[in-house]
Structure 1
């Protein structure tokens, strides 16, 4: 082993001993190192919970919104597409913002944008105001999660990061899972505006609490923003998200100009963006993170997991409502046990990660996901509601074993100066893979259904033919999801426990490993 590597391994061990001693001197802080850290992170977690919950609240309510303000389905989908578009464009910039502005100012700004957007959406007299409200909500949400993750990695000792990220995992996994159920209950008994009004008091409480308690915990620098990188990032990620979202919403199919043109612009812009980031001294998004092997492999796994998770969240409610005739509320309730399991398991898997690492959690979790997706591919009209609920719960259990442990392991490998960039990259690719997964799997389902209709026309009565074609389409989609997860399962055997290199000038691109 080279002399500099030996020296840096020794420094890492010294730092871990120092952190351990400091942690033992603050026993009441538990996982987060001190009481002050605990308060800061809990305030931020509550803000992120409300913001992420809001992402899935609107899906079940779209039909009532269309009827209330008199808009078409294509127009209403902009409330979802616009939201995803803003997040996809904004997240790559968060690495710059986290380095440029203090924790306190950035968090208050993000929560302020989210709260103002929520209020505008709640009182919106028409579509334009409602869309503006959703865009402001998305701007706040896009800032919050990368900021929270960066704060955790700045404050929490490395031996406790799994537990800390597991706590955050409750937010990331439980909030979107209960969103459809909560939305179904509210929309069935009240106006869709209650969805926004119910969020407002919590958002205001978080802002008030943050004003009093939140302190600055990350170091700020004065990075310069490269305007060309910003433009290329906006066109690149925005074009990809918009193109795939348009395909998923059925805007003319994959051959439509609304799909092909944005995607072409997005791909070309991302190629130029990558070249630009690797050739300037202060990149907007530092792509040297991909030089770290564990980070690279973990990012691939997380993108596949996001695609599979979105496939279940999108396809199961469609099957339950259109094939089995369940109400939106009952279709939403099928997701609830899975959300509860994810919420319970996230801190447990976090502690398991601290003790054993991410590899075997990922191997077992992906195996469970693959098996469940295979079972989903062969559900029929006779499959019971309870069986579908159990399978979805097992799928969410598998996801809970992967998401936060793999993400934590990926970021653990980076030097501290790349935390903000690594968080922004993972968050961006998760968002993009979610949009791609939704569009791709819906398209596969639609094509599978169409092929079944063409081949079996006249063999069944019309109502039964429609149900059977939907089942055939779902089989194609879930088999694709199974194939992707199976490939990720193979990749998971290559994971190792990451050891972060020392943050020292000139060492940013080098990897120090104790494997």
Structure 2
């Protein structure tokens, strides 16, 4: 799939291209699997005779694989056609789903999840790159609202969907239900999908691939261990080593940019709007995944709800987020970013601050209301952020920008999970050591975890205030001398 401007004109204003609709549907199905196993941990422990720490790997391995594979997708999408990228991604996902559903042991299940994640990692950048290529700038907010459904709502709905399915039987049903849906989407997509642009054969620096895998994968793995008090020191060490590898990766990309063949083009960061959007998006995903970890723990371990009851309680928030996506996109096209992003950021902070006051008797209507407020705030923020950030890039950097966006999402999700779990467990352990009963100590730990997420979310308000209302009209993606716009100073492009 090429990141270059396509040979044919973009679709006419007011319509969402069929290729984007198909990719949104497929991306929703595959991303749903990132969080669908959260409620299945107890079943896995019983069925496959593994510990809770081992069972958590069905989610950790998924994020780890995504973080390791996504950096390569910028190069990959430039080499293959849209249809081939789609076929490879969905075929890989289907193979992983079959392997997971039939897994006789936990090791095979883990392998299946890794294969699933490999296909998912391609779909996210493919969707974003195609959208930015075929959708006119004046329609991108509306269309990006639909994309929000796939990229943000699917992870939010994962626990709710799994809670309902698990009520009917084994954890294997999670894969058995997804498999025919994903297969039907794959067949339909291959029948209707058209190629956009032309592939460009470029070389790849395998040293960059190795360092990126060690760096981003190591960082996510290390952060996943930080929440385990017994392995916290090891986790911090691995995370630090991952950061060092990322530093080597960055240095390598800066050198390769002189020859025009970087694995991940860091010239995307010369665009101030894209960089600010990355920061807001990362904090948003951090708070969303952090709350998705803490809330089920609170509802099931403290309040005694079943996975089904937990799923039903959080489902209205996920549905509200999805239903608001298209409306938020239209509002962005009409009014710009600040009217949406600033109130959305405030709503996120207020919701997390409200959760930091939970108790063993907090009314369920209040928990539901705070969750809906959180999801509405995220919906108001994500669509403008994605649209502004990607729209600030020239077409030749779309694939690299979407690759960077997807990688940072996984790192932010892992960091958010590690942050809230570490804060919660440290507080809980300290109170129990002081003689406090286990349940009140756990509630206090969860309150502090939510409080830490709320404090971090304040940064989104600060950064959102610096975002432009909208991109400059008819923003030039080429400098007067014909060089890419990333060589033009940021002040000249985005002032």
Q: Same fold (TM over 0.5)?
A: yes
Give the aligned partner of residue 507 of structure 1: 485
Give the aligned partner of residue 271 of structure 1: 247
- Using the TM superposition, give the Cα deviation of residue 177 of structure 1 relative to its aligned residue in structure 2, in angstroms: 2.3
Match of residue 156, structure 1, among 135, 139, 149: 135
Give the aligned partner of residue 31 of structure 1: 15
Secondary structure in 1 matching 2:35: helix
**2: CA distance, partners of 1:308 / 1:390:** 17
Give the aligned partner of residue 252 of structure 1: 230
Match of residue 479, structure 1, among 444, 448, 451: 451
Match of residue 440, structure 2, among 444, 468, 471: 468
Give the aligned partner of residue 406 of structure 1: 385
Match of residue 109, structure 2, among 124, 130, 137: 130
Q: Residues 227-250 of structure 1, C-alpha deviation per residue, up to 9 Å, x if partnerless?
A: 1111110110011000001223x1
Q: Residues 196-231 of structure 1, C-alpha deviation per residue, up to 9 Å, x if partnerless?
A: 111111111122112221111133212211111111
**2: CA distance, partners of 1:71 / 1:480:** 31
Task: Confirm or deny: 8 A CA contact 2:477 2:484 kept in the other structure.
Answer: no
Q: Residues 154-199 of structure 1, C-alpha deviation per residue, up to 9 Å, x if partnerless?
A: 0000010111110111122332222212211221222211111111
**1: CA distance, partners of 2:96 / 2:250:** 33
Secondary structure in 1 matching 2:332: helix
Secondary structure in 2 matching 1:61: helix
Greater Cα offset, 91-100 or 177-186: 177-186
**1: CA distance, partners of 2:217 / 2:266:** 18
Task: Confirm or deny: 8 A CA contact 1:410 1:498 kept in the other structure.
Answer: no
Match of residue 331, structure 2, among 347, 352, 376: 352
**1: CA distance, partners of 2:108 / 2:150:** 28
Q: Structure 1 residues 345, 506: CA separation in 2 closer, same or farther (over 3 Å shift)?
A: closer
| TM-score with structure 2 setting the length | 0.93
Give the aligned partner of residue 498 of structure 1: 471
Q: Residues 26-52 of structure 1, C-alpha deviation per residue, up to 9 Å, x if partnerless?
A: 46xx332xxxxx221222112111101
Instruction: Check if 1:65 corresponds to 2:44.
Output: yes
Give the aligned partner of residue 154 of structure 2: 175
**1: CA distance, partners of 2:453 / 2:48:** 37
Give the aligned partner of residue 302 of structure 1: 281
Instruction: Check if 1:262 corresponds to 2:238.
Output: yes
Give the aligned partner of residue 97 of structure 2: 118
**2: CA distance, partners of 1:50 / 1:409:** 25
Task: Confirm or deny: 8 A CA contact 1:312 1:392 kept in the other structure.
Answer: no
Greater Cα offset, 378-387 or 416-425: 378-387
Task: Confirm or deny: 8 A CA contact 1:88 1:241 kept in the other structure.
Answer: yes
- Using the TM superposition, give the Cα deviation of residue 506 of structure 1 relative to its aligned residue in structure 2, in angstroms: 4.5
Instruction: Check if 1:290 corresponds to 2:269.
Output: yes
Structure 2: which 5+ residue stretches go unaligned?
A: none
- Using the TM superposition, give the Cα deviation of residue 337 of structure 1 relative to its aligned residue in structure 2, in angstroms: 0.6
Q: Residues 293-317 of structure 1, C-alpha deviation per residue, up to 9 Å, x if partnerless?
A: 1111111111111111112111111
Task: Confirm or deny: 8 A CA contact 2:79 2:200 kept in the other structure.
Answer: yes
**2: CA distance, partners of 1:235 / 1:329:** 38
Greater Cα offset, 87-96 or 60-69: 60-69
Task: Confirm or deny: 8 A CA contact 1:498 1:513 kept in the other structure.
Answer: no
Task: Confirm or deny: 8 A CA contact 2:35 2:59 kept in the other structure.
Answer: no
Secondary structure in 2 matching 1:222: coil
Structure 1: which 5+ residue stretches go unaligned?
A: 1-14, 33-37, 459-464
- Using the TM superposition, give the Cα deviation of residue 505 of structure 1 relative to its aligned residue in structure 2, in angstroms: 2.6
Give the aligned partner of residue 35 of structure 1: none
Instruction: Check if 1:186 corresponds to 2:162.
Output: no
Task: Confirm or deny: 8 A CA contact 1:247 1:443 kept in the other structure.
Answer: yes
**1: CA distance, partners of 2:246 / 2:367:** 39
- Using the TM superposition, give the Cα deviation of residue 251 of structure 1 relative to its aligned residue in structure 2, in angstroms: 6.1
Pairing 1:436-447 to 2, within 5 Å after superposition: 436-447=415-426
- Using the TM superposition, give the Cα deviation of residue 514 of structure 1 relative to its aligned residue in structure 2, in angstroms: 6.4
Structure whose CA Rg is larger = 1
**2: CA distance, partners of 1:176 / 1:119:** 21
Superposition RMSD on alpha carbons, in Å? 1.8
**1: CA distance, partners of 2:459 / 2:108:** 44
Task: Confirm or deny: 8 A CA contact 2:271 2:486 kept in the other structure.
Answer: no
| TM-score with structure 1 setting the length | 0.89
